[in-house]
Structure 1
C-alpha cells in the first residue's frame, strides 16, 4: 500500500495528536507503534476493495493520512487492533477511539466488529452500534445503527445506508439492500436485493437488481 507522505510520518502524527489531547506515556507510545503494522495491513485489505478513485493509485491501495475518510477507517482498525492485541490496553485503545471521534465526528467503537471491508462517505454524525455487519457495508452522514430493548440488528453483505438512515432493534437486513436517505427501520426484516424507504412500520420496499 502507498502511504502518503510516509509510514514514519503517520506513526509520529498519531502519537502527537493523541498526546496533545490526552497525553501518552512511554508504554502507550510503544503500544501504538507495535499495533501499527497490523492495523495498516487491515486498512490495505479494506482499501483494495474500494471503488472510490481516491483509494487507489497506480494499481495499488492508496492511503493519504490527510484524507479524513481514509484516516477514520484506519483509526478504527488501529484502536481495535490495540484492544485485540491485549485487552489490558483498553485505555490506549480508548484514546485512539476518541481521537477518531474528535477529528471525524463518527462513533466507531473498537469493541464493535466492523467487517473486513467497509466504506464510509462523509460520516459526520454517524453512530455504529453493536450490530452484526456483513462485508462491503457502507454508510454516510447522520446514520445510526443501534439497539431497541438491548437487541441489535443483523446486517447482510453489500448493504448501503444513505444519509440520515437508521436501523434499530430486532431487524435483519438482507444482502444487496439500499437503505434510502432518512429511512427509519425498527424491528423489521428487509429482504435481500431491496430498496427500502420510509419509516417502520410503514416502510416501502421495492425489489432491485443484485448486479
Structure 2
C-alpha cells in the first residue's frame, strides 16, 4: 500500500493531533505508534475492496493521509484496535475516537464492530450505533443507525445508506439493499435486493435488480 506523504508523517500527525487535543504521554505515544502497522493492514484490506478511484494509484492501494474520508476510516480502525488491546483502560481509544469525531463529524464508537470492509462518502453528521453490520456497508452524510427500546438493527451485506437515511430499532435489512435519501426505517424488516423509500410505517419497497459480480 502507498501511504502519502509517508508512514513517518502519519505517525507524527496522529500523535501531534491527539496530544494537542487531549494530551499524550510517552507510554501512550509508544502504544499508539506500535499498533499502527496492524491498523494499516486493516486499512489496506478495506481500501482494496473500494471502487473509488481515489483509493488506488497505478493499480496499488493508496492511502492519502490528507483525504478526510480515508483518514476517518483509519482513525476508526485505530480506536477500535486500541480498545481491543486496552485491558480495561480505554482512555487512549477514547482520545482517538474523539479525534475522529472532532475532525470528521462522525460518531462511531470504538466498541462498535464495523465490518472489515466498509465505505463512506462525506460522513459528516452520521451516527452509527451498536447494530450488526455486514461487509460492504456504505453510508453518506447525516445517516443514523440506532436503537429503539434497546434493540438495534441487523444489517446485511452490500447495504447502502444514502444521505439523511435512518435505520432504527428492530430491523433486519437484507443483502443488497439501498436505503434512499431521507428514508426512515423503524422496526421494519427489509427483504434482500430492495430499494427503500419513505418513512415507517408507510415505506415503499421496490425490488432491485442486482448484477452478478
Relative to the length of structure 2, the TM-score reads 0.98
* Aligned counterpart, 2:4: 4
* Aligned counterpart, 2:188: 188
Note the 1:5-84 alignment, pairs <5 A. 5-84=5-84
* Aligned counterpart, 2:124: 124
Q: Which moved further from structure 2: 171-180 or 83-92?
A: 83-92
**Shift, 1:210, TM fit:** 1.8
* Aligned counterpart, 1:90: 90
* Aligned counterpart, 2:101: 101
- Distance in 1 of aligned mates of 2:4 and 2:199: 43
Q: Which moved further from structure 2: 79-88 or 42-51?
A: 79-88
Residue 82 of structure 1 contacts residue 89 of structure 1 at CA under 8 Å; is this kept in 2? no
**Shift, 1:87, TM fit:** 3.4
- Distance in 2 of aligned mates of 1:89 and 1:74: 21
Q: Which moved further from structure 2: 198-207 or 87-96?
A: 87-96
Q: CA deviation digits over 1:60-105, x for unaligned, max 9?
A: 1100000000000000000001111233341000000000000000
- Distance in 2 of aligned mates of 1:69 and 1:34: 23
- Distance in 2 of aligned mates of 1:32 and 1:87: 14
- Distance in 1 of aligned mates of 2:95 and 2:164: 27
SS at match of 1:61: strand
- Distance in 1 of aligned mates of 2:176 and 2:130: 21
- Distance in 1 of aligned mates of 2:120 and 2:109: 15
Gaps (5+ residues) in structure 2?
none
Count of residues paired in the alignment: 211
SS at match of 1:87: coil
Structural RMSD (CA): 0.6
SS at match of 2:88: helix
SS at match of 1:88: coil
SS at match of 2:90: helix
* Aligned counterpart, 2:163: 163
Gaps (5+ residues) in structure 1?
none
Relative to the length of structure 1, the TM-score reads 0.99
* Aligned counterpart, 1:148: 148
Q: CA deviation digits over 1:5-55, x for unaligned, max 9?
A: 001100000000010000001111011011101111000000000000000
Residue 35 of structure 1 contacts residue 85 of structure 1 at CA under 8 Å; is this kept in 2? no
